[in-house]
Structure 1
């Protein structure tokens, strides 16, 4: 009898832990079920392909943010750095016959040059974040908030250029836009290039996280920075490299976003960091540090993007979507904190 009672209590505890550990995912799945019930057409192949394509750039961003969160950090500057990358790459890759080119005398550039340039510039901004966090001991929230403002200021100054003023940087080179808007395959079996890029970046980042010394050090720093330093890990250098990689990924994502939309403004990338942070936490990356996986991040992005797309698909107001996102972020971080506090 006692063993049965004990077993029953254990089962109840296990169920409670299961719901505590997966509450936010269960809520999101329930919301998805409601969306599908309201509009069954949501599950069409075209919609699913659009969701995957739109998720691809978010995956690249989240992979950068995820590494930072693993080290007990955060990055509020991601969205504005993406916007900076978008306006710079767009301005350098406008079609030569477009009447309102930012640089009318600029010769047609190979696509790879502006993309590498923006990745390098955004990587430097990542280094600035990492240096402030690792060397100046500035809290990541404050350091990246400062960089967010700097990036937005730089983007706006660059965007509001004479003689045309603050109008969208459009008329992009068709080769550039095809880079993000194109696809491979025939009929309903077309795979957008963006999905291919996201898969390739995910494979590279999985290798970095799981098979390199940097990845091992990243998890060690996130688990216990002091213990990692005592064991011989150069904590400051590794943190700076992690922020550098994140910045470079933002640069790539910003260029692809400009190509996908076909234009760029100083508001490109607005709030993208919030989606990335939420997706990471939903995907199991803990703000307590030292916990996370590439697969989890991808899953989190897909869940979040399905909800975003689904709410828009059934006609939910954009403003209400912001409220839903805010609630998800608060709930996800609160549950994450509770979960790892219990384990400590």
Structure 2
């Protein structure tokens, strides 16, 4: 009897509900199909390679920010941490014999050491965010907004407001090349992103770290009562996010072959939108690595389609802003429907 009653009261998802909840993905798929038929060179190996390179960097950023969202937080400093780690990477990997070297004493650093420095810088900023949020109980929005502004100032001083180029040749080749399969060149960056994605999938799904993260997002008070050290978990989540931003900043510099104070600008909003499109709930406790990948890919395809359709950069920003609002609105609708 109780089984039949539960079946009656359980809300059934109709096709209309599914279409509304996945409206953004459906619309962007239709846009991709339209662009493929109407724009030259959209369906090409070169364009696919560019999409893979962009998705690789942004996927790692979205993975970092996803943990913050799952525990009902956020990270508005993500883009700036990516930016300062990108600039740090460029400073260490400038060729010492090139003209206009910013810091002669550290130029020409070996690539592995530059990578360690970049992820350490990202990790330290992430740790700072985690400590402020967990220990001082500053709301994540305010804490990371303050960090965002401070890092931008630090980055301006570090870069001396000058673009940084003339990087290690092997590093630039690494960022531009990849493994050729048939006519498609899969960037080396993509293989790194796949490795990071697999690591995060295992971390989220099969470890105590992941279980505690989802528990905090579902109900922080209940998680504390059940023995979860929520302060420690938050610090770890934001620290790992910072480390991933450092990896992304390193790869971004490899991809572009240079860096500037504007590197990473707005990436945190793209990452939040992509994660939300991919099923990470702003209400906490929900999100998966495969979903995040889908969200990043969908958001990148949107930008690429707008570019090939001749939409101006100004209007592209308008469309991206609307997508962010709609993605969060649809997420709230899904959350309310479950309740």
**TM-score using structure 2 length:** 0.93
Closer, same or farther in 2 for the Cα pair 1:11/1:252, shift >3 Å? Answer: closer
Give the equivalent residue in structure 2 for 1:226: 221
* Aligned pair partner of 1:188 in 183, 189, 206: 183
In structure 1, runs of 5+ residues without a counterpart are 1-9, 161-165
Query: Which structure 2 segments of 5+ residues have no match?
Result: 1-9
Q: What is the aligned length?
A: 330
Say whether the 8 Å CA contact 1:20–1:339 is kept in structure 2: no
2:24 aligns with 24
Is 1:75–1:144's contact at 8 Å kept on the other side of the alignment? yes
1:257 corresponding residue in structure 2 = 252
Output the CA distance in 1 between the equivalents of 2:244 and 2:147: 16
2: distance between equivalents of 1:44 and 1:186? 14
The answer (yes or no) to whether the contact 1:279–1:300 under 8 Å persists in 2 is yes
Q: Which residue of 2 aligns with 1:281?
A: 276
After superposition, what is the alpha-carbon deviation per residue over 1:1-31, rounded to whole angstroms, capped at 9, x for unaligned?
Answer: xxxxxxxxx9996123212321222222232
In the TM superposition, what are the counterparts of 1:260-339 in structure 2 within 5 Å? 260-339=255-334
Shift of 1:52: 1.1
1:115 is matched with which residue? 115
Residues 1-344 of structure 1: matches in 2 within 5 Å?
14-39=14-39, 41-106=41-106, 108-160=108-160, 166-185=161-180, 188-344=183-339
1:117 match: secondary structure: helix
Note closer, same or farther for the CA distance 1:185–1:229 as it changes in structure 2 (3 Å cut).
same
- Structure 1 CA distance, aligned partners of 2:21 and 2:36? 25
Please identify, of 210-219 and 103-112, the stretch whose mean Cα deviation from structure 2 is larger. Answer: 103-112
Is the 1:57–1:194 contact (alpha carbons within 8 Å) kept by the matching residues of 2? yes
Provide the C-alpha distance between the structure 2 equivalents of 1:105 and 1:135, rounded to a whole number of angstroms. Answer: 38
SS in 2 for 1:27: helix
Q: Is the CA contact (8 Å cut-off) linking 1:179 and 1:256 kept in structure 2?
A: no
Shift of 1:117: 1.1
**1:112 to partner: Cα distance:** 1.1
The answer to whether the Cα contact below 8 Å between 2:179 and 2:186 also exists between their aligned partners in 1 is yes
Deviations 1:245-286 (A, max 9, x none): 110010111111112111111101000111111100000000
How has the CA–CA distance of structure 1 residues 107 and 38 changed in structure 2, closer, same or farther, with 3 Å as cutoff? closer
Give, in whole Å, the separation in 2 of the partners of 1:157 and 1:341: 46
Go from structure 1 to structure 2 and tell me whether the alpha carbon gap of 1:107 and 1:331 turns closer, same or farther (over 3 Å shift): closer
Deviation at 1:107, TM superposition (A): 6.1
Bigger drift between 24-33 and 125-134 goes to 24-33
Partner Cα distance (2:27, 2:180) in 1:
36
Partners of 1:310 and 1:335 lie apart in 2 by 22
Normalised by the length of structure 1, the TM-score is 0.92
Q: Deviations over 1:192-213 (max 9, x none)?
A: 1011011010011111111111
